[in-house]
Amino acid sequence: MMVRDEDVRAKLLEEHLKRDRVLLANIKRQLPELESLLEEVNSHWGYEDPIYRFYHRSLKVYAIQQTTQRMVKLLKSLAPPGATISADFEQIYKAGASGKEFEMEHNKDWTKHTRVFLEAFFHAKYFLEMAVKVWQDLGRSTGYVAFWMGRIIIPVQLPITANQFRTTTIFRTNNSNFCS
């Protein structure tokens, strides 16, 4: 029996949709934590103050790493089984939330040592915002939910054709190159 390309696409599509349903269920289950952390991250002390600290060369900017770590830990807990964080995001995260501690010599090249903290924070904040947004959009949308967790949309409303299907999130799986 010959396997048709359409059969392979249909099977992969169903796998992606199953994973997307698990991701959405995880978001629903953890929505109170996601919203609470997002509120904290958007507060004066969670957002404005750390950015101010960067521009005023305060060692207190180093504390933003802890906030980033908390966001990423929560985001990773949303991942469906078998999914891992995107390699690009992981690289940004590791560079900017490694737990680096202040040293006097960092003052000589401040942005080299501290700008990565802000980059990691902003990327993690974006994904946290999108996780909350997708759930909010589900209640308002009559079409596809544009769930931007990276560079590609996950449509979560059926029916859908293989040509309309685009997937992945900040999470990767072995076959995530299917429609990249």
The one-digit pLDDT tens for each residue of the chain (180 residues) are 566 778 777 787 777 777 778 888 888 899 999 999 999 999 999 999 999 999 999 999 999 999 999 999 999 888 888 777 788 888 999 999 999 999 999 999 999 999 999 999 999 999 999 888 887 777 555 444 444 443 333 333 333 344 444 443 455 555 443 333
- Domain annotation covers residue 177: no
Judge contact between 75 and 128, C-beta under 8 A: yes
Give the Å distances, CA to CA, from 118 to 32, 42, 51, 93, 101. 25, 14, 8, 10, 15
Number of domains in the chain: 1
Domain that holds residue 107: 5-172
- Domain annotation covers residue 143: yes
- Domain annotation covers residue 64: yes
